[in-house]
Structure 1
Amino acid sequence: MPRITALTPRDAGWFTRIAYRLARRQFGEVPEPFAVTARHPRLFRTALWHELGLQRATRVMPPGLIELAVYRTAWTVGCSWCVDFGAMLQRLDGLDVERLRHIADFETSDAYSDAEREVIRYADAIGSTPMSVTDEQVAALVDRYGKPGVLELTYQVAHENQRARFNHALDITDQGFGSGDACRIPWETSRS
């Protein structure tokens, strides 16, 4: 159970209830980080508009590479919720989710292409402390995807770091999205 519980639909305002219905329709269930953030209505609306805008703005990089970099970032941070949700997104995009079992061995696994390895290395470099991105990495990515593509990739990886750390800090754990059997949020209200 998260350190801050989800806002129940009964206690939510009209905007949040509509957002819950739309999320349930799109994903099969309300994502728990979404419902936890709803306890702060202004932050909830800001995060919602940001996610929708980011989804619409990311159009240059191949979606599968973005999803893989985001997944790797979540995996590295250790956010089980983000790993679970990321596996679902890849499954819904028709990508091979079996290869995610080999993400730790991406350098040697036949499940990953050279382009995917390059993107994973870049995601790892962004997430390392201190950050270890090199001029050569960025130049190689710019040659392959252009400056807008590298900006999308960098932004998405940095944003996933934020999401994963937020969820991990609040002990929001996997919800079953990756298996295709998303479970309901336990709408407990004793902790806030």
Structure 2
Amino acid sequence: MPRLEQVSRAEAGSPRILETYDKHFGDRDPVAEPGTHAGTPGNWWTVFALDPQLFGVMLDRQAWQFSEERKLPPKLRELAVARAGWVGGSTFVYSQHCRLLRRLGIEEERIAAIPSWSSEDFWSPVERVVLGFADDLVAGGGRVSDRRFAALKEALPDVAILELAFIVTTYAQSATLARALRLEYDDVPDPVVDRSVGTANGVSRG
């Protein structure tokens, strides 16, 4: 279960929240009967509904990123976000954006290679620099080399680079939130545990 309270349909007073509930859950109460049309638990929405303004920020982000006014090509956007989800350790972000890559017609071989992208030679130059930039933003905390940035500038216009940087870093935030609050597919125990319990003097002899 999520670590925070969820907002039922009866408790949701915001029209935007109710419209979103209708979109993802039909006429069901998403707390009593969880599960979106896409097959996810849906508690990202029911937890964010605790703050209607913040809920609106999430909706506005989606509307912005999927707008036809964006200069960043959708395939590059989703490739970068899927990589950000994997690096950020979020099964939810990674899975959702792998699903969007499939909708965009990306081959399964390429989607499966996202975790080990640097070992594959089938990426185009612009795909490689976008994947590397995503790693710099998430794993490197924004430390991007001049050489990488020069390659980005050759491949994409400045406005597309700005969009890419914003989208990747906001989804790194989403990955962190999903793990911290135990939302969606990230409602799992921490994988790092003390296995020395029960061994002699707390030290494994294996």
The alignment's TM-score, normalised by the length of structure 2, stands at: 0.74
Counterparts of 1:65 and 1:33, CA distance in 2: 25
Aligned to 1:154: 165
Structure 2 residue runs without a partner (length 5+)? 27-35, 187-206
Q: Is the 8 A contact 1:87 1:97 kept in 2?
A: no
Aligned to 2:10: 10
Aligned to 2:37: 28
Q: Is the 8 A contact 2:87 2:139 kept in 1?
A: no
Structure 1 residue runs without a partner (length 5+)? 176-192
Aligned to 1:114: 125
**Shift of residue 133, structure 1, vs aligned partner:** 0.3
Q: Which SS does the other structure have where 2:185 is aligned?
A: coil
Residue identity over aligned pairs, in percent, reads: 28
**Shift of residue 109, structure 1, vs aligned partner:** 2.0
Structure of higher CA gyration radius: 2
Distance 1:62 1:32, change over 3 A: same
Counterparts of 2:127 and 2:178, CA distance in 1: 26
**Shift of residue 141, structure 1, vs aligned partner:** 1.0
Aligned to 1:141: 152
Q: CA RMSD in A?
A: 2.3
The alignment's TM-score, normalised by the length of structure 1, stands at: 0.79
1:174 aligns with 2:185: yes
Greater relative CO, 1 or 2 (CA 8 Å, sep 6+):
1
Residue in structure 2 matching 1:55, options 66, 88, 91: 66
Aligned to 1:101: 112
Q: Is the 8 A contact 2:7 2:50 kept in 1?
A: yes
**Shift of residue 74, structure 1, vs aligned partner:** 0.7
Q: Is the 8 A contact 1:2 1:170 kept in 2?
A: yes
